[in-house]
């Protein structure tokens, strides 16, 4: 391999690496995914709600701050009403919905990079 060929290859590799790093630092790096998990506690047993068993992806975002805002919005959307009491815990990123019959649904949210499978 000639010196000129090595210089061209090195320039291409360096440019590609620099482009990736710049894109990552400018927020065009990995996407972030908002995951949801719903758990039902009927007082005598705790189980994942069948139609949503385990973590499931809700939506992808271009950067972590956008995903974090969506997570906060998801928690804020839970409101108490007649027959149900909502307790939000932003620290653990969950909302507990207690129904009149005393069963409780726990909604948990987490933002993870798209390279991590939340399941």
Q: 63 with 94, same domain?
A: yes
Q: pLDDT per residue over 19-33, tens digit each?
A: 344 444 555 567 999
Q: 13 with 67, same domain?
A: no
The H-assigned helical ranges of 24-94 are 64-76
- Let me know if residue 118 belongs to a domain: no
Q: 21 with 36, same domain?
A: no
Domain that holds residue 12: 1-29
Domain count, the chain: 2
Say whether pTM exceeds 0.85: no
- Let me know if residue 23 belongs to a domain: yes
Q: 100 with 73, same domain?
A: yes
Q: 37 with 24, same domain?
A: no
- Let me know if residue 1 belongs to a domain: yes
Across the chain, which has 119 residues, the per-10-residue mean pLDDT values are: 51 43 53 90 58 78 95 89 85 83 85 84
Q: 35 with 23, same domain?
A: no
Question: How high is the pLDDT of residue 13?
Answer: 43
Q: 12 with 35, same domain?
A: no
Q: 25 with 35, same domain?
A: no
Nearest C-alpha neighbor of 74 from the set 25, 43, 110: 110
Tokens 């909604």 belong to residue:
107
Q: Phi and psi dihedrals of 46, rounded to 5?
A: -120, 130
């Amino acid at each position: 391999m000639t010196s000129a060929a090595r210089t061209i290859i090195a320039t291409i590799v360096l440019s590609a690496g620099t482009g990736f790093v710049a894109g990552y630092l400018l927020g065009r790096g990995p996407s972030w995914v908002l995951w949801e998990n719903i758990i039902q506690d009927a007082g005598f047993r705790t189980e994942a709600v069948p139609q949503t068993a385990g973590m499931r992806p809700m939506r992808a975002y271009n950067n972590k701050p956008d995903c974090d805002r969506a997570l906060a919005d998801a928690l804020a959307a839970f409101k108490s009403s007649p027959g149900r009491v909502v307790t939000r815990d932003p620290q653990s990123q969950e909302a507990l919905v207690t129904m009149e019959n005393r069963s409780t649904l726990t909604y948990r949210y987490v933002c993870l990079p798209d390279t991590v499978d939340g399941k």
